[in-house]
Structure 1
Amino acid sequence: MNTSTRVLCTPTVLRIGATYNSSGNRPSDEVRKEIGAHGVSVVHIKQDSNGTWDTVFGSPFNPESTPQTRTALGRFGHEGVIFAPVKEGQPVVCYSGDDFRFNEDGTGEWLPLDLDNADFAANPIANNQNGHIIRWMEAGNDHGATSFDWDIFVFAGLQGTETVVEGDAVVTLNDDNIFNSPDGLWFDYNGRLWIQTDGRDEAPYQNNMMLAANPETREIKRFFVGPVGCEVTGVVTTPDVKTMFVNIQHPDGNWPDSSDPRPRDATVIVTRDDGGVIGA
């Protein structure tokens, strides 16, 4: 759907509230319910001539069809999935972040998920409470390759946290871009990297946020800060990058409606006052 007036959004269902017995185990019925709850829906939204966005109900190709949530996507919480560019006649490749191995020499390989063979080469900081972002390039620039090269794009942390490459500090965090717990990543149509956080919200970080990064220079700037208690999760723009859709999950207080005591998850639409490209 390569248009800037129609967008397909895919909200995911991640988990339900978990309970545990005295042995540390969860009730089997609850586990079965959670497995069934994991899934994704596809929502069609359209912009009218006045610039207002709204949900399109029903399929224009089959008006009698009933929307269906796809469930049972595995036996653990995938959190998210990103698809590589699809090429006709080649395998469809998706990344869920659960089945890789990083070697200390900067190489890596894709492996089946195996909890008995953990590898920590890509986590060089002991007790890493702030997290970091890793980038990799598949062998031969082939998304279907089983090996890749990798490096650390940026370490999250306090003011003064450095990311050092070959002896040089290529990133030094300051008041404008400190963050912790990077959780969501997305490249827009102009190649800009958007970083979403889901972590600690005490001082000096405060609320979770979204940042914009230049993947070539590693320049990082804070774009916005979310409401209290929220996770910023999921972002997409129209192809012209003039309208952005961002998900805000499990906020506290009475956000987004100050007259309603119940907080609600929401998808926020972001535009520039001048109608220009977001992040430019």
Structure 2
Amino acid sequence: MQGKSRPSARFDPFMADPPETSVTDPTQRLLAAAGPVFAERGFDRATVREIANIADVNVAAVSYYFGDKMGLYRAVITAIREKRERAYPTPVVGKETPQQDLELLIRTLLSRMLAADETGWEAMLMMREMQHPTPAFEGMIRGYFRPLYDALCKTIESLLPPLDAKSSWQTDALVPQLALGVVGQCLHYRIGRPVMAHLISPEVIETHYGLDSLCRQITASTLAACGDQNVIDQHKLLKPSPLNEPQDVSCQQ
């Protein structure tokens, strides 16, 4: 008599393939299975049983290795974060001019946001976490966003003229607003691609919306906002990167 066949999980087209059977480490199998499920369904709707079925492990393995579903979720978020940090580490500012530091920070931020992952679910999960935060959100901010944000604020502050101590907006809000303006521009080129495709011709996108072009534009506009010449003159001073743009970092994805 044939034994019961194990029910197979359904995968949507954008989801990753099931973990390879050659992967014997159950923690890696669970991480590989959990990421796409969390990205598709969100933390609340994802179930430990579905993840365990896809990973081909006993459902109790989640508790054994990760404590609970939130522990597994945190591990998935941490793995994505560490992967991006290895590829695009936070620059150490202060070794170059503030203008050079700013450009390097913006390039790092853009690269992290525009970088494609192999399956598509990583960016989806990170965006879902930002739009619908879970208890893992605070750790993601502290470990992933805060270091780059702090370096950006420090650099922008060094570019500004002396601030009026009598103005609470200048002393308390101006630098964070400028820094978040940079983040907002970078983020738009990640989430605004469908809109851009309808507003701008493919030829212009291909020529002027790659990583290097966007980096120079955002840097130039930020320097101009800090009082360092007008945006057109500043843009002319910024030289294209001598490095070829990575093929997986583009607004055309």
How would you bin the TM-score normalised by the shorter chain?
Answer: under 0.3
> What TM-score comes out, normalization by structure 2 length?
0.24
TM-score scaled by length of structure 1: 0.23
Structure possessing the higher radius of gyration over alpha carbons: 2
Q: Which structure has the higher relative contact order (CA within 8 Å, separation 6+)?
A: 2
